[in-house]
Structure 1
Amino acid sequence: MAQHNLGTVVGFEFIRTVTKGRFWIGTLSVPVIIAVVFGLIFLSNTTTDTATEAQKSAQFSISYTDASGLITAADAALFGATAADSPDAGIQAVQSGAVDAHFDYPAHPETTAVHVYGADKGIFENGKYAAVAQAMLTHAVEQKIGSPQLSALAAGKVQIQTVTYDGTKESGGLGSVIPPLFFLVIFYGLIVLLAGQMLNSTLEEKENRVTEMILTTLKPTTLIAGKVIALFGIGLVQMIVFLSPILIARLFFPEELSLTAPDLPPLVLDPVRMTVGLLILIGGFALFTTTLVAIGAVMPTAKEAGNFMGVMMALIFVPFYAVALVVSDPQSVIVQIFTFFPFSAPVTALLRNGFGSLSLLEAGIVIAILYVGAAVMLRLAVRLFQYGSISYTSKVNVRNALRSKARRPVAGVPPTAAG
């Protein structure tokens, strides 16, 4: 009968939530935003590349003066440029409309700026002048060097591939950092979107004055456990939805995905760090869920509970104030406190796990803290809900609730007097 009741609670809470329009509006907003951002980046990179190439090959009338002697008449002719008598004459030609642009190359362009003067064609199209001036100088220098290989080396066009080792094993570099950090993104998404649902999971019954009736047919443990399990199911649905745009892009649009992040290295999935990240994510989610459910069991209304939710939300953002320290000096005292304090542990540990500074021993301790803390908070939530189930107008006294002997309520009789 108890298992049947638990299944009923889980099914009811899960279906009630996932059939609400606002749940899907909030859940789908995340992948939609991700897809829109990736789309904008893709379009921006494509447009930028096209515009850059177009600017380099743009055709317009040019005059130039060259005090460096690097640019020959043959070099200038390739770009349709003609020599001006002086910089002032070139500027006057631009102002009168005789030419579109004038390039003034100094005697030492390696240390002195090249001055470019052009007719205003709009803030975006004006970029073509500098692009062509640079291309013209680069071509002239390449001709002086006389070797494509030396020209490429002089221009810094060198591909450097770095390989690092963790002992005898090749490390993944940045490609191994990104996948574990996805768990941190998922954690934030779940908490931000589900915090209100967690808090109101027990408040709804209290505000509707039906907890007394519910507890005559259900054990408090069954009711609270059912609500927590339902929240886990809802969180799993949201996690799948959050990851869907990335998985779809990875499977069906790999070239477009690489264009949105051209410098992104190949992703490396480290089984140990991915497993640790998943366990921390589940433990952190369980701790925050049970804690917010416990807060809901204490407060008589959602309005009063909202103040405490602000505190809980602040705790998951506190580690970001020390993110530079988390990355650069993970063994510092403040980082160690953030790592092992239960409510800052999920974010700090996920950050450190992503950057590879969380040892297996530290990971084990953090995971134990989170899971034990979640179990304690679940037990506390049950006790508080049972004690204050019909405390409709005032907050539950936590101290009295912990000291009292919990008893199941009888309809019409407060829990402390039931029997």
Structure 2
Amino acid sequence: MARYNLRTVIGFEVTRTLTKRRFWIATLIVPVIIGIVVALIAASDTSTDSSISEQKNAKFSFSYTDASGIVNPEVVRAVGGHPASSPSAAIAAVKKGTLDAYFDYPANPVKQDTKVYGVDKGIFDNGQYTSVASEILKISAEAKVGDAKLSSLVQGTAPTTSTTYNSAGQVSGGIGSVIPPLLFLAIFYVVILLLANQMLTSTLEEKENRVTEMILTTLNPTTLIIGKIISLFIVGVVQMVVFALPVVIGYLFFRTSLNLPALDLAHLHLAPWPMVAGALMLIGGFTLFTGTLVAVGAIMPTAKEAGQIFGVMMALIFVPFYAVALIVSDPHALIVQIFTFFPYSAPVTAMLRNGLGSLDPVSAVIVIAEQFILGGIVLRLAVRLFRYGSIEYSRKVSLRTILPARARRDDSAASGAREAA
């Protein structure tokens, strides 16, 4: 019966959420905006590349003077230029409009500016003068070198291969071993940011609608809370798939226009321990934050009051990024250790250190155990808070109301003894 009730809760919560119009509006608006931005960037890049190419290959009348001796006359003739009789005469011709442009190459083009004079053709078309002048100088310099290999070295395009070794003398994975574990951190942020508000209001909605007493007559509070948490995770998966679609489409169809690097999975190194530790930290952190937000929702009578604590909870997952430079450069610093083991900053800090390889196995086990143990405690607390807070519609639930009866009797006895004394 309990299993049937759990399935009923999950089905009801997922169906109720996915059939709401505002859910799909809020979910789809982000990928739609991303898609529009990707399309505009792709169109802009294509137009820009075409414009730059046209400017470099633009044909117009021009003359030049070269004090450096670098410019190759054959290159100039190939693009329709000719030497100027004098700078003043060339500039006068440009002013009259009988010559489109004049390039004055200085004795040292590295330290001195090349002066470009041209007929105004509009703010966008005027860039063709500088592009052609620079291209002439570049091609002439490469011809002066006379060796394709030396030209590549001068331009810094020579390929390099780097190999590093870890403390065990084995080849380290480099950036390819860092990316996979850090994906768990990215998933954690996406899940929490997408679902945090729903976590908070998952129990508040029934309380504000005054139906919690009716629900609890047929459902165990534990079944209800667990069902809501599982349904939140399912809804989060749906949102992540919808959010990922623009990224996948952009990479598959607009990778070249957006200048995105090719995805080579062969360079990714999936080390077993960091991957297992990252997955466990993700689950533990999700459990802790979910239980905490559900407990907050059970305590508060309205979503407005719960929002105050919600802001604090969200701030906690971003606090470690204020010390990210220290986390990377000195992971053993005191503040980094505090962030690593403080429950609500531990998921982010520990997953970041786990990806960077600075989290030792002992610390990882401690963080994982802390997240699961505290997460379980908070979930049990959330269940008790929901049970006692279901009838509190106008004020916060006091933690004293969920203490065991024996503890409350002891407190009352002690209070009576103090009054008698």
Find the counterpart in structure 1 of residue 264 from structure 2. 266
Give 3-state SS (helix, strand or coil) of 2:116's partner.
strand
Q: Counterparts of 1:128 and 1:397 in 2: how far apart (Å)?
A: 73
2:226 counterpart letter in structure 1:
A
Judged with a 3 Å threshold, the aligned counterparts in structure 2 of structure 1 residues 265 and 105 are, in CA distance, closer, same or farther, namely farther
Q: Contact 1:62/1:100 (CA < 8 Å) preserved in 2?
A: yes
More deviation in 265-274 or 149-158?
265-274
**Aligned-residue offset at 1:53:** 2.5
**Cα deviation per residue 1:345-364 (whole Å; 9 max; x = unaligned)?**
22222333333333333333
1:163 counterpart letter in structure 2:
T
Q: Structure 2 matches for 1:20-419, cutoff 5 A?
A: 20-166=20-166, 167-247=168-248, 252-253=252-253, 256-257=254-255, 260-263=258-261, 266-267=264-265, 268-272=268-272, 273-404=274-405
Q: Counterparts of 2:124 and 2:371 in 1: how far apart (Å)?
A: 53
Q: Contact 1:97/1:119 (CA < 8 Å) preserved in 2?
A: yes
Q: Counterparts of 1:243 and 1:278 in 2: how far apart (Å)?
A: 20
Q: Counterparts of 1:293 and 1:144 in 2: how far apart (Å)?
A: 72
State the superposition RMSD in angstroms. 2.6
2:59 counterpart letter in structure 1:
Q
Judged with a 3 Å threshold, the aligned counterparts in structure 2 of structure 1 residues 54 and 74 are, in CA distance, closer, same or farther, namely same
Q: Contact 1:175/1:266 (CA < 8 Å) preserved in 2?
A: no
Judged with a 3 Å threshold, the aligned counterparts in structure 2 of structure 1 residues 368 and 25 are, in CA distance, closer, same or farther, namely farther
Q: Counterparts of 1:110 and 1:352 in 2: how far apart (Å)?
A: 44
Q: Contact 2:177/2:271 (CA < 8 Å) preserved in 1?
A: no
**Aligned-residue offset at 1:79:** 2.3
TM-score by length of 2: 0.86
Judged with a 3 Å threshold, the aligned counterparts in structure 2 of structure 1 residues 139 and 265 are, in CA distance, closer, same or farther, namely same
Q: Counterparts of 1:62 and 1:94 in 2: how far apart (Å)?
A: 9
Give 3-state SS (helix, strand or coil) of 1:390's partner.
coil
**Aligned-residue offset at 1:304:** 0.8
Q: Contact 2:87/2:104 (CA < 8 Å) preserved in 1?
A: yes
More deviation in 103-112 or 18-27?
18-27
Q: Contact 1:300/1:395 (CA < 8 Å) preserved in 2?
A: yes
**Cα deviation per residue 1:262-302 (whole Å; 9 max; x = unaligned)?**
45673415253444333322222222111110001000111
**Aligned-residue offset at 1:370:** 1.9
Structure 1: gaps of 5 or more residues? 407-419
Judged with a 3 Å threshold, the aligned counterparts in structure 2 of structure 1 residues 359 and 33 are, in CA distance, closer, same or farther, namely farther
Q: Counterparts of 2:323 and 2:36 in 1: how far apart (Å)?
A: 30
Give 3-state SS (helix, strand or coil) of 2:7's partner.
helix
Q: Contact 2:384/2:402 (CA < 8 Å) preserved in 1?
A: yes
Tell me the matched-pair count.
403
Q: Counterparts of 2:315 and 2:24 in 1: how far apart (Å)?
A: 25
Q: Counterparts of 1:306 and 1:374 in 2: how far apart (Å)?
A: 21
Q: Counterparts of 2:172 and 2:58 in 1: how far apart (Å)?
A: 45
**Aligned-residue offset at 1:140:** 1.8
Q: Contact 1:258/1:264 (CA < 8 Å) preserved in 2?
A: no
Q: Counterparts of 1:47 and 1:269 in 2: how far apart (Å)?
A: 38
Q: Counterparts of 2:197 and 2:26 in 1: how far apart (Å)?
A: 12
Q: Counterparts of 1:182 and 1:123 in 2: how far apart (Å)?
A: 45
**Cα deviation per residue 1:147-198 (whole Å; 9 max; x = unaligned)?**
2222232333322233333355444433443444333333222222222211
**Runs of 4+ off more than 6 Å:** none
1:211 counterpart letter in structure 2:
T
Structure 2: gaps of 5 or more residues? 408-421
Find the counterpart in structure 1 of residue 411 from structure 2. none
More deviation in 86-95 or 107-116?
86-95
**Cα deviation per residue 1:366-408 (whole Å; 9 max; x = unaligned)?**
22222222211101101111222211111011134235469xx
Q: Contact 2:93/2:99 (CA < 8 Å) preserved in 1?
A: yes
Q: Contact 1:175/1:264 (CA < 8 Å) preserved in 2?
A: no
2:349 counterpart letter in structure 1:
T
2:233 counterpart letter in structure 1:
F
Q: Counterparts of 1:142 and 1:83 in 2: how far apart (Å)?
A: 20
Q: Counterparts of 1:230 and 1:73 in 2: how far apart (Å)?
A: 74
2:255 counterpart letter in structure 1:
L
TM-score by length of 1: 0.87
**Cα deviation per residue 1:224-250 (whole Å; 9 max; x = unaligned)?**
122112212222222333334445566
Q: Counterparts of 2:259 and 2:329 in 1: how far apart (Å)?
A: 25
Q: Contact 2:255/2:261 (CA < 8 Å) preserved in 1?
A: no
**Cα deviation per residue 1:318-363 (whole Å; 9 max; x = unaligned)?**
1222222222222222222222222112222233333333333333
2:192 counterpart letter in structure 1:
I
Q: Counterparts of 2:126 and 2:164 in 1: how far apart (Å)?
A: 44
**What is the identity percentage for the equivalent residue pairs of Structure 1 and Structure 2?**
58
Find the counterpart in structure 2 of residue 416 from structure 1. none
Judged with a 3 Å threshold, the aligned counterparts in structure 2 of structure 1 residues 160 and 68 are, in CA distance, closer, same or farther, namely same
**Cα deviation per residue 1:19-64 (whole Å; 9 max; x = unaligned)?**
2122222333444444445444444444443333222211122221
Give 3-state SS (helix, strand or coil) of 1:102's partner.
strand
